[in-house]
A and B are shown apart, each in its own frame.
Chain A
Amino acid sequence: MLGEGILKGLKETARNALGSFVSAERLTTVEYPEQRLPLPEASRNFPFLVYDGADWESGLRCVACQICEKECPPKCIYIDKSKDKKPDAVGKQQFYPAKFDIDISVCMSCQICVEVCPFEAIKMDHEFELSTDDRFGGLLLDRKELAKSNEYYHKIHPTEATAVDDRLAKERAAAEAKTKATAAAAAAKAAAPKPDVPTAGAAPVPAAKVAAAAAPATPALDAKREGDAS
């Protein structure tokens, strides 16, 4: 009958209007800024630098390799290398950035800097409420503003952060094992019996031999003890 569609439409809008007071599915408004929608984990806005531990200066993972500076398409990163070195995330002595500036008015959030960083030092942040009234320097973030703790990284990207932590732990263990192995090899080489050594060196030889005999035996014994214990 003519007009039936109109009545159906009126019923639907009435249901919407009255239902919006009682059911949440008919009123989907999120009243920003009192309420916020939770952002998905993989969302990204601008980069930040990760630091381990409590002190941001000493725990900064970045070693100023400048790969991200070179790979950044709009060239928004500016890095100044330091003159001295400090131990990095895996214990090796590395440079660190004396200056690390990102101009977020230029940054296009392409995530290339994150993808190329070999040290898991730069990651993408969720923070988007960055507006400022300082037109000239307000959007240029320096090292201190960019550094955020590993706990913060865990909070915003839980799965990614755990994966990164696992990777770093493995690398650290591998590095430690390697240093131990090299130390052991160096010690073994130093303690190895030399066939053409003169009698002047005979006196320390038995001692060295004893030490060498003891040294390889101890790691093996240690390994066996660890093997038994585990």
Chain B
Amino acid sequence: MANTLDQIFVLLKHWIVAYFPLALQPVVGILLSVVAIIATFPALFALTTVIERKGLGRMQNRIGPNRTGPFGILQPVADGIKSLTKEDIVPRSADAVVHFVAPLVLVVVVFMGFAVLPMGRNMQLVDMDAGLLYFFAIGASAELSIFMAGWSSRNKYSLLGAMRAVAQMISYEVPLLMSTVAIVMITGSLSLVKIVEAQNQYTWGLPHWYIFTPWGFAAFIMFCIAAMAETNRSPFDLPEGESELVAGYFTEYSGFKFALFFLGEYVGMFSISGLGTTLFLGGWSAPLAVLNFMPSWIWFFSKVMLSIVVMIWIRGTLPRLRQDQLMNFAWKFVLPMTLLNLFVAGLWRFMGEGILRWLVCSAILLGVYVIVGRTEMRRRKIGPRSYRYAE
């Protein structure tokens, strides 16, 4: 019974596919999975917009939207109607073709990332050998669409926002990849399915999730920071900050194209939360061995929604980082820590089982973090400011 519930979507797909002739069956199978993904994640996106607005409201001592439907549940419907009925303004001097294509490219690229995420037992669209590499390759293409959006608007501020966004995304791509290389090293495979299966074992009832290891925890923190910077999410949302650049690279977009950008950003958040869940939080495996009766896809989506809630929480707490602070942080702190993490993960692998490797790895990571932290926080010389080009 539990197994049927766990595999219910897979069984449903096989049942529908059986109705088609043999030649068409692979195509129909893939189409069904694609349709399921395209149906699920925008629905989750709608739910997330409500959760975000109400959550941010509660954190700021106010109620979020509560007039449209009970507890504001129908707010995304209202937003959707608004986006669809707004006039689609394209500036006269804007590059019409590129202006039109930019949001399309973003949405397509972002949805393509879901192809390798295992959303439950046997529930990935494609089981690729180099699945993780595919995901990062697709993520890198999203930057291009942001640049296209900013440049095609022929607006100085859009262009500035786009350059900043691209610079930020490139800077944080390296820590993002490096923090996952440790995982690949320990698992021995780039395939996301194998990574989840490697975490699906239990010792004394506790799971083998990578976040519970010292190097995995450090890598998870760095992955979170880099993921939030990749999706232009607070505190890294200078490119789209409302008080800085109007709306940054999507200033000149209105109506449905703006909604597409918004959708792309949120679905990108889901995509990268899904990846973080797969790599660090054990994907679809349950936290305790006894809880395995619950379907695997429920665990996956709960973990993804938990990550989203944490992202919203961080957005409501932290102020925005300035561009140079962002870049300093990426290149001078996060990247060296990821390299150290790689070294520690190698040490872990070669030290063999036992309590010694836990102590040594934790000590190294904690020690370096505290020392570097102290140095970073001490170097604040508050003196008269000097301007490089103004004297």
Using a CB–CB cutoff of 8 Å, the interface residues on chain A facing chain B are 1-3, 6, 9-10, 12-14, 16-17, 20-21, 26-29, 31
Decide: A17 and B59 in contact? CB cutoff 8 A: yes
Closest chain A residue, CB of each to CB of B316: A13
Contact flag A14-B61 (CB < 8 Å), given A1-B373, A2-B369, A2-B372 = no
Within 8 A of A (CB), among B26-77: 55, 58-63, 66
Closest chain B residue, CB of each to CB of A20: B58
Which residues of chain A are within 8 angstroms of B58 by Cβ–Cβ distance?
A: 16-17, 20-21, 27
Which residues of chain B are within 8 angstroms of A13 by Cβ–Cβ distance?
A: 59, 313, 316-317
Q: With A and B bound together, what is the CA distance between A29 and B57 in angstroms?
A: 10
- The DSSP consensus for interface residues of chain B is helix
Decide: A2 and B62 in contact? CB cutoff 8 A: no
With contacts A6-B318, A9-B317, A17-B313 known, what are 15 further pairs, Cβ within 8 A?
A1-B374, A2-B377, A10-B317, A13-B59, A13-B316, A16-B58, A16-B59, A17-B58, A17-B59, A17-B316, A20-B58, A27-B62, A27-B63, A29-B62, A29-B63
Decide: B318 and A31 in contact? CB cutoff 8 A: no
Contact flag A26-B61 (CB < 8 Å), given A2-B369, A10-B314 = yes
Task: Count chain A CB atoms within 10 A of each CB in B66, B317, B369, B373 and give the residue with the most.
Answer: B317
Which residues of chain B are within 8 angstroms of A29 by Cβ–Cβ distance?
A: 61-63
Q: How far is the CB of B145 from chain A (nearest CB, A)?
A: 31
Q: With A and B bound together, what is the CA distance between A9 and B370 in angstroms?
A: 20
User: Which 4 A-B pairs give the minimum distances between C-beta atoms?
Assistant: A2-B373, A17-B58, A13-B59, A9-B317
Per a CB cutoff under 8 Å, which of B61, B66, B313, B317 touches A28? B61
Decide: A31 and B63 in contact? CB cutoff 8 A: yes
Q: With A and B bound together, what is the CA distance between A31 and B58 in angstroms?
A: 14
Closest chain A residue, CB of each to CB of B221: A3
Closest chain B residue, CB of each to CB of A21: B58
Decide: A9 and B372 in contact? CB cutoff 8 A: no
Q: How far is the CB of B217 from chain A (nearest CB, A)?
A: 13
Q: With A and B bound together, what is the CA distance between A6 and B329 in angstroms?
A: 15
Using a CB–CB cutoff of 8 Å, the interface residues on chain B facing chain A are 55, 58-63, 66, 313-314, 316-318, 369-370, 372-374, 376-377
Q: With A and B bound together, what is the CA distance between A28 and B374 in angstroms?
A: 40
Closest chain B residue, CB of each to CB of A27: B61
Which residues of chain B are within 8 angstroms of A16 by Cβ–Cβ distance?
A: 58-61
Which residues of chain A are within 8 angstroms of B377 by Cβ–Cβ distance?
A: 2
Which residues of chain A are within 8 angstroms of B374 by Cβ–Cβ distance?
A: 1-2
Per a CB cutoff under 8 Å, which of B60, B313, B373 touches A14? B313
Contact flag A17-B318 (CB < 8 Å), given A2-B376, A26-B61 = no
Q: With A and B bound together, what is the CA distance between A185 and B220 in angstroms?
A: 103
Which residues of chain B are within 8 angstroms of A2 by Cβ–Cβ distance?
A: 369-370, 372-374, 376-377
Closest chain A residue, CB of each to CB of B375: A2
Task: Count chain B CB atoms within 10 A of each CB in A13, A16, A27, A28 and give the residue with the most.
Answer: A13
Q: With A and B bound together, what is the CA distance between A13 and B369 in angstroms?
A: 25
Which residues of chain B are within 8 angstroms of A20 by Cβ–Cβ distance?
A: 58, 61
Q: How far is the CB of A10 from chain B (nearest CB, A)?
A: 5
Which residues of chain B are within 8 angstroms of A26 by Cβ–Cβ distance?
A: 61
Q: How far is the CB of A154 from chain B (nearest CB, A)?
A: 36
Q: With A and B bound together, what is the CA distance between A14 and B59 in angstroms?
A: 7
Which residues of chain A are within 8 angstroms of B373 by Cβ–Cβ distance?
A: 1-3
Decide: B62 and A9 in contact? CB cutoff 8 A: no
Contact flag A1-B370 (CB < 8 Å), given A13-B59, A17-B55 = yes
Closest chain B residue, CB of each to CB of A8: B317
Q: With A and B bound together, what is the CA distance between A12 and B60 in angstroms?
A: 11
Closest chain A residue, CB of each to CB of B377: A2
Q: How far is the CB of B325 from chain A (nearest CB, A)?
A: 14
Which residues of chain B are within 8 angstroms of A28 by Cβ–Cβ distance?
A: 61-62
Q: How far is the CB of A86 from chain B (nearest CB, A)?
A: 52
Contact flag A10-B313 (CB < 8 Å), given A27-B62, A29-B63 = yes
Q: With A and B bound together, what is the CA distance between A189 and B60 in angstroms?
A: 82
Q: How far is the CB of A25 from chain B (nearest CB, A)?
A: 9
Decide: B61 and A6 in contact? CB cutoff 8 A: no
Q: With A and B bound together, what is the CA distance between A14 and B370 in angstroms?
A: 26
